Amino acid sequence: MSSTMNPYLSFRDNAREAMEFYQSVFGGTLESSTFGEMNMADDPAEANKIMHSSLKTDNGFVLMASDTPASMNLDEGSSYSISLSGDDGEELRGYWDKLLDGGQMTLPLERAPWGDVFGMVNDKFGTSWMISIEGSDS
């Protein structure tokens, strides 16, 4: 048996746009279902909101998200970051560039005191990302 941990992002009403953006960053297969398709829309105006969305990439990333109906509380004050790390500098710099498009850099992608190249960015949807490129030639 095995277990996995997958980030699950909550949005008020732009999960579809966010997940399509993340698919453009990471590639992979995106599957989404709406509250209406699942007969779970209490308010017909919210039928097209995303009840569940899952992005599965070729390199094994899984990112999930949903919209939050108006009748439910959306805690936008939580603090979290999604960390991407590895030794493939070209791949990770590509993710950095795409996540930065429309977003805001909070820490430049540069050599850190511990020797890796590290940076932080908040993407255009407000998700915080940390990128760490391992190794002396990073």
Distant-in-sequence, close-in-space partners of 27: CB < 8 Å, separation ≥ 6: 57, 58
Domain ranges (residues) in the chain: 8-67, 82-133
pTM, whole model, 2 decimals?
0.90
For 91-105, letters b (16+ CB in 10 Å) and e give ebbebbebbbeebee
Look over the chain and give the mean of its residue pLDDT values, rounded to a whole number.
Answer: 92
Residue of 114, 120, 64, 115 lying closest to 92 (CA atoms): 120
61-73 pLDDT, tens per residue? 999 999 999 888 8
Establish whether domains 8-67 and 82-133 are of one fold: yes
> Which architecture does CATH list for 82-133?
Roll (3.10)
36-51 pLDDT, tens per residue? 998 888 888 899 999 9
The confidence score (pLDDT) of residue 137 equals: 58
Residue 138 has pLDDT above 60, yes or no: no
Helix axis angle for 15-26 and 89-100, nearest 10°, is 150
> Which architecture does CATH list for 8-67?
Roll (3.10)
In this prediction, residue 1 has a pLDDT band, given cuts at 50, 70 and 90, of confident
